[in-house]
Amino acid sequence: MKKYDYLIVGSGLFGSIFAYEANKIGKKCLVIDKRNHIGGNIYCNEIEGINVHEYGAHIFHTSNKEVWNYINNFAEFNRYTNSPVAIYKDELYNLPFNMNTFNKLWGVKTPAEAKAKIEEQLAETNITKPKNLEEQAIKLIGKDIYEKLIKGYTEKQWGTRATELPSFIINRLPVRFTYDNNYFNDTYQGIPIGGYTKIIEKMLEGIEVRLETDFFKNRKEFEEIADKIVFTGMIDEFYNYEFGTLEYRSLRFEHEILNEENHQGNAVVNYTEYEIPYTRIIEHKHFEYGNQPKTIITREYPATWKKGDEPYYPINNERNNTMYGKYKELADKESNIIFGGRLAQYKYYDMHHVIEQALNTVKKELKEV
């Protein structure tokens, strides 16, 4: 007799949604996580009355109404709209790339003038079909913005030349010919009032959770404990790296409590020059319009990844995607193991993508929701 219907490896968004839905229909679940807290990368820690996004800024955004309604069952969201600014040397620009950015950079005031400027810069190159991130960026917004706001940030973020990166990464950012500093194009956006951890706590209420418990440390025992496994860790590790090691980019977060009320005037400030070793500084209180007497900032330093480090970003280049394809073939043949989330699907997923994936899995597996 197996003790559980499902063993869920990972208490991030994917694992927690699955556990919640399975528990709701009477399935017995055990959730394990190797970290000492629930929530995976959306975990928030309250310090000085401020919800600190321990693993970097997390802004919820989606155009999927089902996903939006679903997550609103677990929290109330505020009206936060992400409008980061970028600092390059002593110049400050609005993001994403929009009329405010173009005006500051070139003095142009109308969309026609901005488009003409970009066309003029593109004409100086021979890019027709962009082959990589650099070419894609220049095609979208011209050489000046590429050099000041993209090249340095991208190369330190990914530890690779922009000419060696896939162009899809830059397509995440809107390019807009209006004076609109909203970083996302989605219909719905906000921050859960009280932080993300509360969402996960609600999902996992009444479910057995074991923290500081690594699946691989007791693999045999865990494989026998439940009828099925939902695995949200690294897929290559699950298969003992038999087709090779998938590559990731890691990060180091440096948190600091400051004795001042308002340090940078914005939740997210990007530092786009290569010489500054961090990519951005987050000031957490601004996500929830806090007015606490102190403030907490986090500097985000990109870092090379090696086995054992936190795998924050999958590097979805050709080599890795091909290797992932081989692991996926094995995964597709499994009848008692479900792979889900950013690490097991090796995709640069945002939270709304993960929720969408989890709900699809729930529908297929539990015929519910």
From 264, 261, 269, select the one nearest 295 (Cα to Cα): 261
Tell me the backbone φ, ψ of residue 207, rounded to 5 degrees. -110, 140
> d(Cα 306, Cα 119) in Å, to the nearest integer?
42
233 forms part of the interface with ligand FAD (CB under 6 A) = yes
Residues 6-45 that bind ligand FAD (CB under 6 A): 9-15, 32-35, 40-42
Is 342 in the active site? no
Nearer to ligand FAD, 41 or 121 (CB): 41
Residue 145 binding ligand UDP, by CB under 6 A: no
Minimum gap (Å) between residue 104 Cβ and ligand FAD: 24
Judged on CB neighbours under 10 Å (0-12, 13-18, 19+), 256 is exposed
Residue 267 contact partner, candidates ligand UDP, ligand FAD, none, CB within 5 to 8 A by sort of partner: none
Do the beta carbons of residue 170 and residue 140 sit within 8 Å? yes
Task: Find the helix packing angle between 13-24 and 351-366, rounded to 10°.
Answer: 30
Q: Give the interface size with ligand FAD as a residue count (CB under 6 A).
A: 35
Q: Considering the candidates 43, 88, 135, 176, report the single residue annotated as catalytic.
A: 176
Residue 196 in contact with ligand FAD, rule: CB under 6 A:
no
Token reading at 151 = 């090249």
Catalytic position from the list 241, 278, 313, 348 = 348
- Residue 279's identity, in one-letter code, is T
Residue 5 annotated as catalytic = no
Interface pick for ligand FAD out of 29, 59, 209, 267 (rule CB under 6 A): 59
- Is 327 among the residues known to form the active site? no
Q: Which of 172, 210, 219, 319 is catalytic?
A: 172
Nearest 10 degrees: CA dihedral of 197, 201, 202, 203?
A: 100
| E-strand stretches of 96-219 | 188-190, 208-210
Alpha-carbon distance of 348 to 317, in angstroms, equals 11
Stretch near ligand FAD under the rule CB under 6 A, chosen from 143-151, 202-210, 285-293, 348-356: 348-356
Catalytic annotation, pick one of 43, 155, 249, 283: 249
Cis peptide before 96 (omega within 30 of 0): yes
Q: What residues contact residue 134 under an 8 Å CB cut-off, 6+ apart?
A: 146, 151, 161, 162, 163, 165
Cβ contact 23:207 at 8 Å = yes
Residue 176 falls in the annotated catalytic set: yes
Minimum CB distance to ligand UDP, residue 179 (Å): 18
Q: Contact at 8 Å (CB) between 92 and 209?
A: no
Return the one option of ligand FAD, ligand UDP, none that residue 341 interacts with (CB less than 5 to 8 A, by type).
Answer: ligand FAD
State which residue, 31 or 149, has the beta carbon closest to ligand UDP: 149
Has 365 been annotated as catalytic? no
CB atoms near residue 147 (< 10 Å):
14
The residue within the footprint of ligand UDP, chosen from 9, 87, 150, 315 (CB under 6 A), is 150
**Residue ranges that bind ligand UDP, judged by CB under 6 A:** 86, 95, 149-150, 153-154, 157, 169-170, 172-173, 270, 272
Binding site for ligand FAD (CB under 6 A): 9-15, 32-35, 40-42, 55-60, 214-216, 232-233, 251, 312, 341-343, 349-352, 354
Catalytic site residues?
Answer: 172, 176, 249, 280, 300, 348, 350
